[in-house]
A and B are shown apart, each in its own frame.
Chain A
Amino acid sequence: MRFILPFVIFLVLSVFLYMGLGRDTREVPSPLVGKAAPAFVLPLLHDTGKHFSPQDMKGKVWLLNVWASWCGACKDEHPVLMEFSRQNVLPIVGLDYKDKPEDGQATLKKAGDPYTLVIADADGKVGFDYGVYGVPETYVIDKNGMIAYKLIGALNSQNLREKILPLVAELQAK
């Protein structure tokens, strides 16, 4: 009888610790979800004469994928993005974060370019506005320009299938 209480405490602790094991402490819930995507105007990576602003995507559900040539995890997610862009589900805008434009261009030329268009955020100011602190990060932005979801870390077939695709389908139906 007297062992029941310690045992229950042990069980509760175990459950919490087990839950803690699966959590990524780097994943901080973004306060930007549910808010309007911060406005900006940035030059395109391939054609600095042209500019892009989130306004241009009004009425469309689109993906903002933050990447860089110096980022290792971006190389892991690159094939996933390539495959995803072939399905033509929605526009994917790449944001080349704190990168030399020539490095970004070279990476895409070598590995392939999954993006509808790529913008260059050389000094990282726009990235800061979007609360970027670990590349890659991916934002789902809805037809009204609101951030619906933020993924910190690399896209993979699992989070794409389980999280992003259902959300995109739901937002596009609206």
Chain B
Amino acid sequence: MRYFLIVLLCLLPTFSFAGVAKDIADDPVMERRMMHLAEKVRCLVCQSEPVSNSHSDWSNDVRQIMREKMKAGATDQEILDLLVERFGKSVLFDPPVDKETMPLWSAPFVLLLLGGAGLFYQLKKRRGQVVQTELSVEDEQRAATLLNDTVSAPPDSPTEPEKLDYDGTIRVRSLIAGAQPDGVREDVSDAHIKEPKA
């Protein structure tokens, strides 16, 4: 009995018939044209919704008036003009470019220009701040040694290539090949390169 009731309850929605929205016009072609036009018109009561989507009374009225005007042979533009005349340009989602709406339309470009100019100015200022430094011959050789030869020693190296110290550093003494000038060898031989800690 209980299950029967549950099944009956589940079937309940099939008995409710919502009915067709009442303002469907007799002419589907005109209705489509009207809805297309209504997409361009702002519902003034709900602000961010187009008249085509809105269920407010006001939007219903506007749709009805659009239908009547269309039946009377008005063009889309004439209907939009009529609405603008009554309610102002803000009824259009895409307001016309004119003296009044110029700031609105030009604002993105002005902001882009301002941002670009600011970026250009900053970059130019920074270029002046970067100091070009010349490396001495010694420094360059030292850098080349450190960058190129940390892994494999030259083939004729007399000692072992590398050895881990107790604290995880590599002694690079063994890496210095005989070709280096004496001073450099002394210099680098005691250098410790920290192993990156994982």
Tally the A-B contacts, defined by beta carbons under 8 Å. Answer: 36
Tell me, rounded to whole Å, the shortest Cβ–Cβ distance linking B88 to chain A: 4
How many angstroms between the C-alpha atoms of A69 and B61 in the bound complex? 19
Known: A124-B61, A133-B44, A134-B45. A28 touches B86 (CB 8 A): no
Q: Interface size of B by Cβ–Cβ distance < 8 Å?
A: 15
How many angstroms between the C-alpha atoms of A97 and B39 in the bound complex? 26
Contact of B44 among A28, A31, A32, A124 (CB under 8 A): A28
Known: A26-B47, A133-B45, A134-B45. A128 touches B61 (CB 8 A): yes
Residue B79, interface by CB 8 Å: no
Tell me, rounded to whole Å, the shortest Cβ–Cβ distance linking B57 to chain A: 7
Mostly, the A contact residues are loop
Give residues of chain B (49-101) contacting chain A, Cβ–Cβ below 8 Å. 57-58, 61, 65, 84-91
A residues near B84, Cβ cutoff 8 Å: 31
Pair B88/A30 contact, Cβ less than 8 Å: yes
Tell me, rounded to whole Å, the shortest Cβ–Cβ distance linking B167 to chain A: 43
Pair A129/B44 contact, Cβ less than 8 Å: no
Kindly report which residue of chain A lies nearest to residue B47, judged by CB atoms: A25
Give residues of chain A (106-141) contacting chain B, Cβ–Cβ below 8 Å. 124, 128-131, 133-134
Kindly report which residue of chain B lies nearest to residue A98, judged by CB atoms: B57
B residues near A29, Cβ cutoff 8 Å: 88
Pair A28/B90 contact, Cβ less than 8 Å: yes
Pair B86/A128 contact, Cβ less than 8 Å: yes
Pair B57/A31 contact, Cβ less than 8 Å: no
Interface residues of B (CB under 8 A from A): 44-45, 47, 57-58, 61, 65, 84-91
Question: What are 25 of the A-B contact pairs (CB < 8 Å)?
Answer: A26-B44, A26-B45, A26-B47, A28-B44, A28-B87, A28-B90, A29-B88, A30-B87, A30-B88, A31-B87, A31-B88, A31-B89, A124-B61, A128-B61, A128-B65, A128-B86, A129-B86, A130-B86, A131-B87, A133-B44, A133-B45, A133-B58, A133-B87, A134-B44, A134-B58
